[in-house]
Structure 1
Amino acid sequence: MHTQQRAIRSTKLILIASVLWLGVFGAGQAVAGGLLLYEVGTADVGLASAGWGARAQDASAILSNPAGMTRLEGSQALLGVQALYGDYGFSIGSGTSSSLGTGDGGNPIGWFPGGGAFFSYSASANLKLGFAMTGNLGLAGSYDEDWVGRYYVQDITMLGLSFLPSIAYKATDKLSLGASVNAMYGISEYKLAINIPNAQRPGNFVPTHRAETDAGMNFEDQTWGWGVILGLLYEFNAGTRLGFTWNSQIDLDFSAPPEFSNLGQFGTTLQNAGLLNPNINMGIKVPQQLMTSVFHQVNPRWAVLGSVGWQQWSKFGQLQLGIDNTANPTSLTQDLDFKDTWHFAAGAQYRLSDPWLLNFGVAYDSKFQSGSTVSPILPVNDAWRFGAGVQNQVSKTFSWGVAAEYAYGGTLDVNEQSTSPVEGGGRGDLVGSYPDTGIFFIAANFNWAF
């Protein structure tokens, strides 16, 4: 039964992600600097996002800097596909409550696909229209049901799937302006176990089988949010350009009643506390972002690229669900405080020959969770990215590329202290680490010109 339930959850994620992979949506697991990804199956994967808003070499500019569409000849389409593999195994520390068992949760991420589709239409020499379907807000994880942190989280899915109608105008020979409307469809699902006090568990209960008699809580909702992406591209000359991109904040107002299971006598306790039926309001603010990028063609073979960015994660507002003390339940939610992040990237392109172009880059995203510890629902913080890729211009109308990137998140510590012991209905002390976390991306992109 355990294997079957895991298979159902995995199949559900694969079905969602397969749609993303086809370009209708696109998202993946968060890796650093919050939950916004730079990886959506484009050539930027090989550059580790260096030159994000100034590269402007294909239709993915709709997302990175819509003003860059003015540099594209004619009308162009891009399909990006990617797969990622996350290594996020949990190592249980000696401070973890022994009554929680010995389950380490397995690898909550594993394989996950993503991507995006982009189209730029040339209305005139100076006016471009575009549309994209992708997603760079992503989080998905599923732990084994008996893992020691099950009272904090078992499954979590949070995706932001963006539809981006866009416009760009070349105001002068050097200055281009662009804008994209970001219609984001948010999906949120959060599942965890509830610890029933010993006195309310079945008569044949023994501590080693605690997970089998847990109750459960599931929150699930979908909603729409709206924002804009504004871009400016200034070309000093044919080989040097500077890009500015601003992504506005997007509010995703999730609100739904939680679904409970296996409550038994504890259902009366929740009912008396007024926590059984009311909606849970989990308002998410996808943060605003500022990015400055540069591209410089040093000579016919070499070009250098760089980016500096800021994201306002202090406004995110993610809520952690759960019941800290089931002997005296008072709330189903708890605030998690985050801080703003900084992003730095540098990269280069090398022209091997007329059809072949090499990309490589490195990037760093700062911490968005304070201190050296993280929440088990968001086991991400600062990280280094290392990317490399190649593009091949097959003809004037078609090109393709492949890229790979490794995002190293280091060792992430967890130190969650409960206000009540496990035997009395508390979540227990969860102490341990995610050692040497990392995610490997592999991507392919296909570009057509009309």
Structure 2
Amino acid sequence: MPGLYRSRRRLFCVAPLLLAASPSWAGGIMIYEAGNEGSGLANAGAAALASDPSVLMNNPAGLTELAGTQISANGQLILGDLTFSRDGNNDFSGNEGGNILKYLPGSSFFVSHQINERASIGFGMYGNFGLAVDYDDDWAGRYFTQESAILGVSLQPTYAYKINDDLSIGFGPRLMYGYFRTEVAVNNNVLGLADREDGQLEYKDTDVGLGFNIGALYRLNERTRLGIAYTSKVDLEFEDKASLDDISNPLLNLALQRANPSGLEIDMEVPQTAVLSLAYDLDSQWKLLGSLGWQDWSEFGKIGVEVDTDLAGTSTSVDRQYKDTWHASLGAQYQATRQLRWSMGVGYDSSAVDDEDRTADNPMNESWRLATGINYAVDEGLDLHMAYTLVWLGDMDINQTKSRSGDSLSGSYDNSALHIIGGGATWRF
């Protein structure tokens, strides 16, 4: 869902046509929700609250707070409400695309083990970035994008060490498996020909990148804990043959064959992030939480393009004006009974683009999160939890123009929102 990455693209095409393969992020947001109990807090206190092994995703140092061996398994479902509506300035024919994110399932798994009073180890498998958009094939913006998905799964072994009773540190290398797929319509009505059905470009590939998570957890006093964590960037490089179908324009087909569309390269930089969190025990029942975060989206906005018209190669660069984003959240937990704990939170993420720079392949905006959840202790060795988050993106205007023809896709995504439902279980041994 506000946020992901620097894209450098090498595309092959002919003079009147630019074939673009681009990643899409519904809302352009990082996914804080991984089905864990913390999903009900809108990311508040993420780097300071260590209630289960999922803390290694936000702050590896938190593992030192967990006793014995613990296992957490979670699942979540993202339901979208993102629909485009054209306005009077729109120049393209076609429908309005439908709901571009109907649903997206996900899961996560975490385990921790206390080696001794000072050291702990853990492992996590999770996905905390990547969404997808899927427009109708014949929608008005089909020459910009029809369908696109970028999904990332991280595998993170983790080591944490308690330096003294107040200070812990943790580190975890992060191996990320990335999957990218895009489809975009190709206009056969170029080079003087007309009344031809669209063709299509399809591209998909996978890659593996390496990064790391590092963090520290400090106990200020008996009631207050401060957590700080940093997540490095991860470079993903996709390079595979682009598939072209139904290119019925003979001049266009000849030019594409000469241009060799197999040389499509897409480099993405998953943003580095930093977060500062606070957890404060107000009394025996209430815990107050907060977080401030930064995400390096400005690196994603710089796009290098090579357009090959006669195999000589002409380079140009496009800056989509992406900018860094900021996150703030507040939350609370209420221990209603010995078994039942209630979480609630509100969060805000700034937008990585200004309104005039918004595009159909990534209709991002600032977002508000409203979250709540419960945790129920079945017995000493088993907790069950579930949470719900509303991610409100609001109204997003768009006016995206083709650089060659000057035709514009114009309209808005009104009352845009994501609904994230998650739950899972934590076992303690």
After TM superposition, the score normalised by the length of structure 2 is: 0.88
Q: Post-superposition shift, 1:318? A: 7.1
Question: What are the within-5 Å matches in structure 2 for residues 370-449 of structure 1?
Answer: 370-421=354-405, 428-449=407-428
Where does residue 86 of structure 2 map in the other structure?
92
Q: Post-superposition shift, 1:333? A: 9.0
1:146-174 superposed Cα distances (whole Å, 9 cap, x missing partner): 10000000010101110011111111000
Query: Quick check: 350-359 or 34-43, which moved more?
Result: 34-43
Where does residue 66 of structure 1 map in the other structure?
60
1:220-268 superposed Cα distances (whole Å, 9 cap, x missing partner): 1111110000010001233310000000111111122321111231111
Read off the aligned partner of 2:142 and give its amino acid letter.
R
Residue 367 of structure 1 pairs with residue 351 of structure 2: yes
Where does residue 31 of structure 2 map in the other structure?
37
1:346-403 superposed Cα distances (whole Å, 9 cap, x missing partner): 0011111111111000000001013355111111221000001111111110001111
- Contact in 2 for aligned 1:284/1:317 (Cα 8 Å): no
Relative to its length, the structure with more helix (as a share) is 1
Read off the aligned partner of 1:124 and give its amino acid letter.
N
Distance 1:83 1:197, change over 3 A: same
- Contact in 1 for aligned 2:355/2:397 (Cα 8 Å): no
**Which among 83, 88, 104 is matched to residue 112 of structure 1?**
104
Residue 258 of structure 1 pairs with residue 242 of structure 2: yes
Read off the aligned partner of 1:162 and give its amino acid letter.
S
Where does residue 173 of structure 1 map in the other structure?
165
Question: What are the within-5 Å matches in structure 2 for residues 136-285 of structure 1?
Answer: 136-197=128-189, 201=193, 205=195, 213-264=197-248, 265=250, 266-272=252-258, 274=259, 276-285=260-269
Q: Distance in 2 between matches of 1:200 and 1:224?
A: 43
How many residues end up aligned between the 2 structures?
400
- Contact in 2 for aligned 1:31/1:383 (Cα 8 Å): no
Q: Distance in 2 between matches of 1:117 and 1:73?
A: 18
Unaligned 5+ residue runs, structure 2?
1-23
Q: Distance in 2 between matches of 1:163 and 1:350?
A: 32
1:65-96 superposed Cα distances (whole Å, 9 cap, x missing partner): 11001101111010111112100010011111
Q: Name which structure has the greater RCO, CA cutoff 8 Å, separation 6+.
A: 2
Give the SS at the match of 1:270.
helix
Read off the aligned partner of 2:34 and give its amino acid letter.
V
Q: Distance in 1 between matches of 2:220 and 2:25?
A: 35
- Contact in 1 for aligned 2:61/2:171 (Cα 8 Å): yes
Q: Distance in 1 between matches of 2:36 and 2:26?
A: 17
Q: Post-superposition shift, 1:139? A: 1.8
- Contact in 2 for aligned 1:285/1:317 (Cα 8 Å): no
Where does residue 75 of structure 1 map in the other structure?
69
Q: Distance in 2 between matches of 1:142 and 1:396?
A: 44
Distance 1:332 1:85, change over 3 A: farther
Q: Distance in 2 between matches of 1:94 and 1:430?
A: 10
Identity of aligned residues (%): 34
Query: Quick check: 219-228 or 371-380, which moved more?
Result: 371-380
Q: Distance in 2 between matches of 1:334 and 1:215?
A: 25
Q: Distance in 1 between matches of 2:273 and 2:218?
A: 19
Query: Quick check: 262-271 or 156-165, which moved more?
Result: 262-271
Distance 1:380 1:106, change over 3 A: same
**Which among 272, 285, 298 is matched to residue 301 of structure 1?**
285
- Contact in 2 for aligned 1:192/1:322 (Cα 8 Å): no
Q: Post-superposition shift, 1:330? A: 7.0
- Contact in 2 for aligned 1:255/1:279 (Cα 8 Å): yes
